Amino acid sequence: MAPERGTLLLLALSLGLASAQQTLEEVPVQPDFDARKVEGRWLTARLAASHTRLVSPEDPLRLALHSIGTRDQDLEFVLFWMGEGVCKGVNVTVHPTGLRGQYQGALQGGGSILVRFVSTDYSSLVLYIRFQDGGGGGEVTSLWALLARRLPGDPRWLEKYLEFVRKFRLQEAPIFNLDGEHCPAPTLHLAAAQCPPPDA
């Protein structure tokens, strides 16, 4: 597995995700999405997937979204992962697809990543992330996350998020938040290559 692809799929693989059931037509996108308003620090309040064999909460692997930034028209996600005695940062850059609020990139070695901002008031955020192996017929894995600027977050947004959990019969997954204070600054920058807009 190519290092870039392996890093981008680290979270999905660590949670043991199987094929996603929902199609893109079923996943909404935030109207009039403003990318600059999602810049800054985010904390993960809840995380779920369509199917998952949950890792143990005692598992030494931790991977967490730290913040979101913009780079021209692109979005950059800053992640930190921590293992036994190891803490590293990584930046992942994705590109606009033409649908406002949706970003995608092609991964080296095949496959793609798609990010859709489902709903946000810029203090809370429901985020959908889809990974697809190989070509258009490859296995699809997906994550749904509820992010907040502060925890525990707004209970109204928790209920909005839980509506998606119920609708798609998602399974809750462990969450981790790393402040990155004891990790070196990200030195690995994964810029996912541009690829054609996804099929609906």
Summarised one tens digit per residue, pLDDT across range 30-47 is 999 999 999 999 999 998
Tokens of 109: 């070695």
pTM above 0.85, yes or no: no
Chain mean pLDDT for the chain: 77
pLDDT, tens digit (0-9, with 9 covering 90-100), for 42-70: 999 998 876 554 444 555 456 688 999 99
Res 115 pLDDT > 70: yes
pLDDT tier for residue 3 given thresholds of 50, 70 and 90: very low
pLDDT at 125 over 60: yes
Contact 95, 190 (CB under 8 A): no
**59-108 pLDDT, tens digit each:** 545 668 899 999 999 999 988 877 666 777 778 889 999 999 999 987 66
Q: Quote the pLDDT of residue 112.
A: 84
CB-CB contact of 125 with 116 (8 Å): no
Q: What one-character-per-residue DSSP string does the chain give? A: --HHHHHHTHHHHHTTB------GGGS---TT--GGGG-EE-EEEEEEESSB-PPPTT-S-EEEEEEEEEETTEEEEEEEEEETTEEEEEEEEEEE-SSTTEEEEEPTTS-EEEEEEEEE-SSEEEEEEEEE-SSTTS-EEEEEEEEESSSS--HHHHHHHHHHHHHTT-EE--------TTSPPP-EEEEPBP-PPPP-
- Domains of the chain (ranges, CATH numbers): 3-191 (2.40.128.20)
